[in-house]
Each structure stands twice: as C-alpha cells, then as structure tokens.
C-alpha cells in the first residue's frame, strides 16, 4: 500500500513540477532556446542522477520510514540512510538536478530560471515548515541528525548519523 501511495504522490507532485510545468514553459517559450549542439546531451547526467536520487529517497521513505514523501503520509521514523546520510534534503536536490538536466537537454534558459525558483520555494518550505515539523515529530533524534548532516550541499556527516541519533534517543 505504501508503494501505491508513493506512486500516486509521484504522479501528482513531481509529475507536475518536473514534467508538466516544464512542458508548459517549453510550449510557451518563443525562440528562447540556446544552441548547445551535441553538448545538450550532457544534460542526461544531472537528469539521470536526479531520477536515481528521487527513486532512492522514495525507497528509503517506504522501507525505512514506512511512509511517503507526502506531508499527508510522512515517514513514521526518521530516515537517515542512503542519500540522507549526506544531506538532509536529497529529494529537493534530486528534483533540481532533474530540472537542470531538462534545461540543458531542451536548451531552455527559462527552465534554468524555473529550477532556481523551484529551489528557492523548496528552501523556504524547508526552513518554514519541514524542519520545525520534523523537530516536533522526532525531537532529539532529529536535532542530532540536523547537527550532523548539512541541508543542501552533500558531504560526509560531521558525526556518525546513527551514533548521533542513538545518543539523542537515550
């Protein structure tokens, strides 16, 4: 059932923001394209990395967190595995990678602007809603995770995420 909910969420939210909106932008754009030639295919790198990141995060939410990325059915336990060991928001970073890949593949500067606005909207959502909500839901475990793992730029955790999480729950 979790996988079905995750699939429905994917069709509606990422399906809209990563496919439908870019399609509308591309359809309405008049001569706003760059000519990258064969280099446009380099857009496959961020696009595929983003798709793989989204799939990995959704799987971690379902298998470890027993929930979905939807705020209506969030994970029941703190997810600090996979990409979540290296940054706190890999779903949003993966989505931006998909958009950047699309911008390069379609040679569309308007999609680069959209990717930037998409990231800004997600940043405001994260600091205004998501982080305070996770602090309330998971308490000291999230505090330890927050202290150990950066928000946007992937890097090795400052301390062991599992050790910090275990220490905080004692």
* Listed range (17-26, 70-79, 91-100) with the worst mean pLDDT: 70-79
CA pair distance 136, 142, nearest whole angstrom: 9
Q: Above 90 in pLDDT, residue 170?
A: no
Per the CB < 8 A criterion, the answer to whether 28 and 93 are in contact is: no
Per the CB < 8 A criterion, the answer to whether 133 and 85 are in contact is: no
Q: Mean pLDDT highest for which of 17-21, 32-36, 44-48, 134-138?
A: 44-48
What pTM does this model have?
0.85
Residue with more model confidence, 169 or 118: 118
The mean pLDDT of 36-49, rounded to a whole number, is 92
pLDDT in the model for residue 162: 54
Contacts of 63 (CB under 8 A, 6+ apart): none
pLDDT in the model for residue 169: 41
**Given 3.30.1540.10, 3.40.640.10, 1.20.120.1630, 3.30.70.1530, which CATH number is that of 2-169?**
1.20.120.1630
**pLDDT over 70 percentage in the chain:** 86
Domain boundaries, the chain: 2-169
DSSP string covering 93-119, please?
HHHHHHHHHHHHHTT-HHHHHHHHHHH
């Amino acid at each position: 059932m979790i996988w079905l909910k995750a699939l429905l969420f994917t069709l509606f939210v990422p399906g809209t923001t990563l496919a439908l909106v870019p399609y509308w932008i591309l359809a309405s754009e008049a001569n706003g394209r760059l000519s990258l030639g064969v280099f446009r295919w380099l857009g496959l790198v961020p696009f595929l990395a983003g798709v793989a990141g989204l799939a990995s995060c959704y799987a971690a939410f379902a298998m470890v967190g027993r929930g979905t990325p939807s705020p209506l059915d969030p994970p029941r336990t703190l997810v600090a595995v996979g990409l979540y060991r290296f940054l706190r928001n890999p779903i949003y970073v993966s989505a931006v990678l998909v958009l950047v890949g699309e911008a390069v593949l379609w040679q569309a500067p308007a999609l680069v602007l959209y990717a930037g606005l998409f990231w800004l909207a997600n940043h405001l959502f994260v600091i205004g809603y998501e982080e305070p909500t996770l602090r309330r839901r998971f308490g000291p475990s999230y505090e330890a995770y927050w202290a150990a793992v950066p928000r946007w730029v992937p890097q090795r955790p400052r301390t062991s995420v599992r050790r910090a999480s275990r220490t905080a729950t004692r």
